[in-house]
Amino acid sequence: MPIRVPDPLIPVFLKATRANRPFVSEAGAHQRILERTLRPASYGPPGRLRGVRVERRVPNPLGWPVYDVKPEDGGHASVVVYVHGGGWVNEMSLPHWRLMARIARESGQRVVAPIYPLVPFGTARLVRDGVVELVRAELEAGNEVRLAGDSAGGQIALSVALGLRDRGIILSSTVLLSPALDLSWKNPRIDAVQPSDPWLGRPGGRVLAEAWRGPDPIEDPVVSPLFGDMSGLGPLTILTGTRDVLNPDAQILRDKAGTAGVQVAWHEAEGQLHVYALLPTETGEQGTRTIVESLQPSNGMLGASM
């Protein structure tokens, strides 16, 4: 039985581990970029993930590591491309691997995990284009593709969905957990949420966003997908917590997509933190179930619609 942590202990843990250091100050963000440049972190899978097999693709035309997480008992002719978060500076971590294993195990689908280049080597357009090609290759192989991402990976995932839409490809499901959407950080409602968010912050967030945008303007939808035209997108599922400074932008996305005629399943968790579905809490477990259900092959969309 998985160990569940009471919600109030999560902010204590974040403070003790200084998880907010890259976000609360510009200096903290620059320091994290330097640290990750000099001492790259491991991104590989843990030694064992229940009910799945993990295979690394070799060779890989993208030039990035790409992993396939496969259910042990076969699976459907469909895949989920999962784009991990981490502020565009942190590698895939154990909670991501566990979530991908659960998606594969419970949905019977192969989960494709690109290990994309981070700042200062990766940029929004480079990674968007790479993931678009990864999805297109799966489609050309005859697989149905669903897309998911958390935090910075949510920014990439929505930018990819928009890029695919522009190429005439509509995905049956895109799931976004606490997505970064407007990298200008200009939403005035961030100030109201900031005192309750123990994790993210505008000063470091702006530094990381500036490094990630590369040569593109910060309001280009490749960088900040909230500025894109949402019309014609396939169904979206959005999960967000109210103690997350990214929550105000998620609300704008909900309304903008709904107005554009996009089917939206909205899951707002009162009092929950950033990427709460990755946390080892009871509410996190509920969020994980929502993600897995929303990516089921038989379901283009589950949840409350706008």
Instruction: Check whether 182 has a pLDDT greater than 90.
Output: yes
Within the chain, strands assigned E span 52-56, 66-71, 78-83, 110-114, 144-150, 174-177, 236-241, 264-269
Backbone angles phi, psi at 163, to 5 degrees: -65, -40
pLDDT-derived band at 306 (thresholds 50, 70, 90) equals very low
Tell me the three state secondary structure of residue 270.
coil
pLDDT-derived band at 234 (thresholds 50, 70, 90) equals very high
Dihedral (Cα; 92, 93, 97, 103), 10-degree rounding: -80
Q: How far apart are CA 33 and CA 27, in angstroms?
A: 10
53 alpha carbon, distance to own chain's centre? 22
Residue ranges of alpha helices (H) inside the chain are: 9-16, 21-24, 26-38, 94-107, 124-140, 152-166, 190-193, 202-213, 247-259, 282-294
pLDDT tens for 85-113 read 999 999 999 999 999 999 999 999 999 99
- pLDDT value of residue 305: 32
- pLDDT value of residue 62: 84
Backbone angles phi, psi at 67, to 5 degrees: -110, 145
pLDDT-derived band at 304 (thresholds 50, 70, 90) equals very low
Place of tokens 């593709």: 145
> What DSSP state is assigned to residue 35?
H
| Beta-strand pair 110-114/66-71 | antiparallel
- pLDDT value of residue 268: 98
pLDDT-derived band at 259 (thresholds 50, 70, 90) equals very high
Q: How far apart are CA 298 and CA 236, in angstroms?
A: 15
Please say whether the dihedral angle defined by the alpha carbons of residues 99, 100, 103 and 106, taken in this order, is positive or negative.
negative
Instruction: Check whether 7 has a pLDDT greater than 90.
Output: yes
- pLDDT value of residue 58: 78
pLDDT tens for 199-222 read 999 999 999 999 999 999 999 999
pLDDT tens for 13-50 read 999 999 999 999 999 999 999 999 999 999 999 998 99
Mean predicted confidence (pLDDT) in 58-62: 78
- Burial environment of residue 286 by CB neighbours within 10 A (0 to 12, 13 to 18, 19 or more): middle
Q: Calculate the average pLDDT of the chain.
A: 94
CATH of 8-295, one of 3.40.1360.10, 3.40.50.1820, 3.40.50.300, 3.90.1150.10: 3.40.50.1820
| pTM for this predicted structure | 0.95
Contact 244, 272 (CB under 8 A): yes
Number of neighbours of residue 192 by Cβ within 10 angstroms: 11
Strand-pairing partners, residue 238, are 176, 266
- pLDDT value of residue 299: 53
Residue ranges covered by each domain of the chain: 8-295
| Catalytic site positions | 151
- pLDDT value of residue 266: 98
Place of tokens 């996190």: 284
pLDDT tens for 133-173 read 999 999 999 999 999 999 999 999 999 999 999 999 999 99
Name 39's Cβ contacts closer than 8 Å, sequence gap at least 6. Answer: none
